[in-house]
Structure 1
Amino acid sequence: MPNAHTVAQVRDAEAPLLAALPPGALMQRAVYGLVAHVARRLGRVGGARIVVLAGGGDNGGDALWAGARLAARGARVDAIAPGRTHPAGTAALLAAGGALHGPDPAPDDDALRALFDRADLVLDGLLGIGGRGGLRPAHARLAAFAPVRRTVAVDVPSGVDADTGAVAGPAVRASATVTFGTHKRGLWLMPGAAHTGPVELVDIGLELPEPDLRALDDADVAALLPVPGFESSKYRRGVLGLVAGSDAYPGAAVLAVGGALRGGAGYLRLITEGHHDEATGQRRGRAGDLVSQAHPEAVVTAITAGDAAAMLAAGRVQAWAIGPGLPPGPPVRDLVTALLGTDQPIVVDAGGLDPLAEIVAADPRALSDRAAPVLVTPHEGEFARLLRVGLGWDPERAAADLAADRLATVRRAAAALGAVILLKGARTLVVEPTGAAWVNTTGSPWLGSAGTGDVLTGVVGSLLAAGLPAVLAGAVGAYLHGRAGERADVPLAASDLPGLLPAVATDLLAGADRPQPTDGGPGRRGTPGHRHAR
Structure 2
Amino acid sequence: MLMTPEEMGRADALAAESGIDSYALMVSAGRAVAACLLRCYPAAQRAVVLCGPGNNGGDGYVAARAFAETGMKVALFHLGDPARLSGDALRARQDCGMDSAGLDGFRPEQGDVIIDALFGAGLARPLSDEIAAVIARAEGLPVIAVDLPSGVSGLTGQVLGAAFTASHTVTFMAAKPGHYLLPGRAHCGRLEMFDIGIPRRILAEAAGDHHLNTPALWADSLPRAGADSHKFSRGHLGVFSGGASATGAARLAAMAGLKAGAGLVTIAAAPQAILVNAAHLTAIMLKRIEDVSALRDWIADKRLSAFVLGPGFGISAETRDFAETLIGRPLVLDADGLTAFAEQPEALFDRLEAAPETCVMTPHAGEFARLFPDLAEDSDLGKPEKALRAARRAHAVVLYKGADTVIASPDGRIAINANAPPWLATAGSGDVLSGTIGGLLAQGVPAFEAAAAGAWLHGEAGNRAGAGLTAEDLPTHLPSIHEIIDNGR
- The alignment's TM-score, normalised by the length of structure 1, stands at 0.81
Offset of 1:124 from its aligned partner? 1.4
Give the alignment partner of residue 118 of structure 1, picking from 111, 116, 120. 111
Rounded Cα–Cα distance in structure 2 between residues aligned with 1:261 and 1:425: 24
CA offset at residue 69 of structure 1?
1.2
Output the CA distance in 1 between the equivalents of 2:9 and 2:367. Answer: 37
Question: Matches of residues 86-125 of structure 1 in structure 2 within 5 Å?
Answer: 86-95=89-98, 100-103=100-103, 106-107=105-106, 111-112=107-108, 114=109, 117-119=110-112, 121-125=113-117
Match of 1:289 in 2: 278
The equivalent of 1:436 in structure 2 is 413
Distance of aligned partners of 1:193 and 1:305 in 2 relative to their CA distance in 1, 3 Å threshold:
farther
| One-letter code aligned to 2:311 | P
Task: Write out per-residue CA displacement over residues 207-232 of structure 1, whole angstroms, 9 at most, x where no aligned residue.
Answer: 13342301233555655543422221
Is 2:233 the counterpart of 1:236? Answer: yes
Secondary structure of 1:67's counterpart equals: helix
Cα offset, 1:408, TM superposition: 1.8
Aligned ranges 1:207-218 → 2 under 5 Å: 207-208=202-203, 209-218=206-215
Q: Residues 177 and 273 of structure 1: is their aligned pair in 2 closer, same or farther, counting only changes over 3 Å?
A: farther
Contact kept, 8 Å, 2:215 with 2:453, in 1: the verdict is: no
The one-letter amino acid paired with 2:424 is L
Pairs within 5 Å for 1:181-220: 181-203=173-195, 204-205=197-198, 207-208=202-203, 209-220=206-217
In structure 1, the residue matched to 2:74 is 77
CA distance in 2, matches of 1:145, 1:273: 63
Structure 1: 5+ residue stretches without partners = 276-282, 388-394, 514-534
Q: Give the letter for the 1:14 counterpart.
A: D
Q: 1:312-461 residue pairs with structure 2 within 5 A? A: 312=299, 316-340=303-327, 343-356=328-341, 360-362=345-347, 364-370=349-355, 373-387=358-372, 395=373, 397-401=374-378, 404-461=381-438
1:499 and 2:476 aligned: yes
| Residues 241-269 of structure 1: CA deviation (Å, up to 9, x unaligned) | 11233323222122112211211221111
* Candidates 294, 304, 311, aligned match of 2:290: 304
User: Which of 147, 156, 171 does residue 179 from structure 1 map onto?
Assistant: 171
Is the Cα contact below 8 Å between 2:50 and 2:76 reproduced in 1? Answer: yes
Question: Is the 8 Å Cα contact of residues 56 and 83 (structure 1) preserved in structure 2?
Answer: yes
CA gap 1:106/1:433 in 2 versus in 1, 3 angstroms = same
Distance in 1 (alpha carbons) for counterparts of 2:310 and 2:230: 28
Superposed displacement of residue 347, structure 1 = 0.9
1:284 counterpart SS class? helix
The one-letter code matched in structure 1 to 2:361 is: V
**TM-superposed deviation, 1:428:** 0.8
User: Counterparts in 2 of 1:111-150, with a 5 A limit?
Assistant: 111-112=107-108, 114=109, 117-119=110-112, 121-146=113-138, 150=142
Shift of 1:35: 3.5
CA positional deviation for 1:149: 7.8
Residue type at the aligned position of 2:329: Q
Deviates more, 1:21-30 or 1:256-265: 21-30
The 1:145/1:225 distance shift into structure 2, 3 A limit, reads farther
Equivalent pairs: percent with the same residue?
34
Q: TM-score by structure 2 length?
A: 0.88
Distance 1:230 1:184, change over 3 A: same
Q: Secondary structure at the match of 1:344?
A: coil
Note the 1:447-486 alignment, pairs <5 A.
Answer: 447-486=424-463
Q: Quote the Cα distance in structure 2 between the aligned partners of 1:118 and 1:5.
A: 35
Secondary structure of the 2:151 match is coil
3-state secondary structure, aligned to 1:261: helix
Aligned-partner Cα distance in 1 for 2:337–2:9: 44
Q: CA separation in 2, counterparts of 1:371 and 1:217? A: 24
Change in 2 beyond 3 A, CA 1:220/1:4:
closer
Aligned length in residues? 476
Cα deviation, residue 167, structure 1: 1.4
Q: d(CA) in 2 for partners of 1:364 and 1:483?
A: 32
- 1-structure distance, mates of 2:287, 2:111: 67
Counterpart secondary structure, 1:240:
strand
- Match in the other structure for 1:390: none
8 A contact 1:330–1:355 mirrored in 2: yes
Distance 1:59 1:164 in 2: 19
Distance of 2:220 and 2:142 partners within structure 1: 37
Corresponding residue for residue 532 of structure 1: none
Distance 2:226 2:430 in 1: 30
- Structure 1: distance between partners of 2:76 and 2:461: 42
SS at match of 1:331: helix
Deviation at 1:31, TM superposition (A): 2.3
Do 1:305 and 1:332's aligned partners in 2 also have CA atoms closer than 8 Å?
A: no
Q: How does 1:486-525 map to 2 (within 5 A)?
A: 486-502=463-479, 508-509=484-485, 511-512=487-488
Partners in 1 of 2:169 and 2:482 — Cα distance? 30
Q: Secondary structure at the match of 2:223?
A: coil
CA distance in 1, matches of 2:394, 2:370: 13
Q: CA deviation at 1:238?
A: 1.5
Residues 156-213 of structure 1: per-residue CA shift (max 9 Å, x gap): 1110111222212211122332212322222232322222234333233151334230
CA distance, structure 2, for counterparts of residue 406 and residue 133 of structure 1: 18
Which amino acid in 1 is paired with 2:290? T
One-letter code of the match for 1:68?
Answer: R
Displacement after TM superposition at 1:417 (Å): 1.3
Distance 1:487 1:330 in 2: 39
Quick check: 1:149–1:174 contact (8 Å CA) kept in 2? no
Match of 1:29 in 2: 28
Structure 2 partner of 1:164: 156
Aligned equivalents of 1:291, 1:485: Cα separation in 2: 24
